[in-house]
Chains A and B, each alone.
Chain A
């Protein structure tokens, strides 16, 4: 089999796998069961926060290991305002988003001013998330390790819904919004400047791009978006605690779905979140059917880790990259023929 043929076969197999996945997100629109609604919510929600990671990590090439910092800030700011100060959660939401943006701006200014790049930037974001986690564990107004419980009062005016389908619609809307933002990044001059920085920061600076400013801007945007997700999460599950909100696992989840789907692409996080969602369900079902397996949850996470290593080793552009490579080959062939 020639190289082109094998890529074609791989793409066909991939399409057969991916097509059903396209229904992972919209499933609740077809089947209205609680299971489908919750599953669809998780896929779209993960795609949304994954996209927030993708803005900085994918489009601008600033790999972060600490996006949980923004997620947790979003969840905690809205919950503190709501629970301790009696704010309406809908009003607290924009404040939480602004707080996430502010933290992103702050982190960006500090680390980019110091010239941190690549792995160093990744590690310092991880350390920032740790500072927030330990802080939230220790100060009184977050109620420490006990976490914050939001009183159940299912009214739409209260950002709580009796029917979970409304959270699903909210996640759907947020996901579409995030896709629009990503699409805008591929079209706008801002996005072009970020791509230039990602490909070669020194060359971009030489062309007159203020790399520091653009990077701070994108991290601010990314942080605000991620914080928006944090508030939704807190309102959906009505509970938040430090090791949930600021965990490394949360940061890794966002990175993982983007890497698997295709880093720096519009649909990468959505594809990745669908794959992860389906993989998780399948391993849970299979693992649950084997009596010796008591807890199948780690099994699915092991699988995610293996998929991550394979993606980096063999498919650096993620699942979507396979399609792109095929299209590029075809275009090259037509160009040669003409």
Chain B
């Protein structure tokens, strides 16, 4: 492989990684606060992508970037209610139940999408989809550059929110010590639902940023779910910075792996990394503390 192609692969991988970061940040936030593994993460992303698609289609005709606030708000509300009405109520506070409940949710969401929207892949067409920008030897698609920048900006905003607002502090308190948080008067169940809502809101943002350069089908969630888990364990469960670096790294691995080994075998890198990290360094590359 020539250096130019390798470099182009790395840059493209970084751009995809930006979106992965956004997906993984939601997952790692939910894990960090609730200590649950949200298996429905991919399916909820797929649902948000369909929402973006239907907002773009006539009669509404909304540009995916302009749809950002609507989809983020809707995703937050959906996530909050989903936790309040289903996950929190059904799990009786047992962690191992939540994995199975979110599995059940993902089955329902995937097949509801299959039933209502058929298995066809849907794409949206925006005038700027084909715009390319020269970057060294690589040609970069404008939507991917935008999504990369926006994803990192949203992560930064989320980090500031967690750092400086009262709600952010309460979330961090619950993540660290839920019993203590309850004792100082924090409504822990509310914080759980808010954290789940924020995690899903990240998916809403990811969906808006993805759609101009990606497609959606009922199985889209499957493509993302293992990627997101891999990033989260690679970066260390519950670590924001870990999700950021892990997401970019996984994007590069996927892109360069695809160039080196072809579309089919190139995908094997992600589950392999997942297995190796869990076996050899379960705290993740960047998460020192357990």
Q: Which A residues are closer than 8 A to B by beta carbons?
A: 63, 65, 110-111, 113-116, 118-120, 122-124, 126-128, 130-131, 134-135, 137-138, 144-145, 248, 252, 255, 259, 295, 298-299, 301-302, 304-306, 308-310, 312-314, 316
Contact = CB atoms under 8 A, between A and B. Distances in A.
B278 interface: yes
Interface in B5-51: 37
Interface stretch (B91-99, B129-137, B150-158, B159-167): B91-99
B96 A119 contact: yes
Given A252-B103, A295-B115, A302-B108, A309 B90 contact: yes
Contacts of A122: 99
Interface string B248-290: 0000000000000010110110111011001110100000000
Contacts of A130: 226, 270-271
21 contacts: A63-B96, A114-B282, A120-B278, A123-B274, A126-B226, A127-B275, A134-B265, A135-B268, A138-B262, A145-B264, A298-B115, A299-B115, A305-B104, A305-B107, A308-B103, A309-B101, A309-B108, A312-B100, A312-B101, A313-B92, A314-B90
Contacts of A259: 100
A119 B101 CA distance: 12
Given A119-B99, A302-B111, 15 more contacts: A115-B282, A116-B282, A120-B282, A127-B226, A130-B270, A131-B272, A138-B264, A259-B100, A295-B114, A295-B118, A299-B111, A308-B104, A309-B90, A312-B100, A313-B92
B105 interface: yes
Contacts of A312: 90-91, 97, 100-101, 104
B30 to A, nearest CB: 13
Interface string B101-140: 1011111100110110010000000000000000000000
B37 A119 contact: yes
Contact of A137 (B108, B264, B272, B274): B264
A110 to B, nearest CB: 6
B95 A118 contact: yes
A74 to B, nearest CB: 20
B278 A305 contact: no
A314 B91 CA distance: 9
A309 B222 contact: no
Interface size for chain B: under 10, 10 to 19, 20 to 34, or 35 or more residues? 35 or more
Given A124-B278, A309-B90, A298 B114 contact: yes
Nearest to B98: A119
Interface in B191-227: 222, 226
B234 to A, nearest CB: 12
Given A298-B114, A302-B115, A312-B91, A131 B103 contact: no
A210 to B, nearest CB: 20
A178 B52 CA distance: 48
A130 B270 CA distance: 9
Nearest to B35: A119
Given A124-B275, A127-B274, A298 B95 contact: no
Contacts of A298: 111-112, 114-115
Contacts of A144: 264
A313 B90 contact: yes
B146 interface: no
Contacts of B105: 305, 309
Nearest to A259: B100
Contacts of B91: 312-313
A140 B104 CA distance: 35
Contact of B264 (A115, A134, A301, A316): A134
Nearest to A122: B99
Contacts of B112: 298, 302
Enumerate the 6 nearest inter-chain pairs by beta-carbon distance, A residue then B residue, closest first: A305-B107, A313-B90, A305-B108, A308-B104, A298-B111, A298-B115
A131 B267 CA distance: 9
A61 to B, nearest CB: 9
A138 B279 contact: no
A118 B96 contact: yes
Contact of B111 (A255, A301, A308): A301
Interface string B79-94: 0000000100111100
B224 to A, nearest CB: 13
B13 to A, nearest CB: 18
B31 to A, nearest CB: 10
Contacts of A120: 278, 282
Contact of A309 (B37, B86, B279): B86
Contacts of B106: 305
A113 B280 CA distance: 10
Given A116-B282, A305-B104, A123 B229 contact: yes
A313 B103 CA distance: 13
Given A119-B99, A134-B265, A298-B114, A111 B104 contact: no
Contact of B268 (A63, A138, A248, A302): A138
Contacts of A116: 278-279, 282
A111 B101 contact: no
Nearest to B229: A123
B278 A114 contact: yes
A247 to B, nearest CB: 10
A124 B282 CA distance: 11
Residue in B111, B112, B270, B280 whose Cβ sees the most chain A Cβ within 10 Å: B111
B37 to A, nearest CB: 5
Contacts of B107: 252, 301-302, 304-305, 308
A314 B90 CA distance: 7
Contacts of B95: 118-119
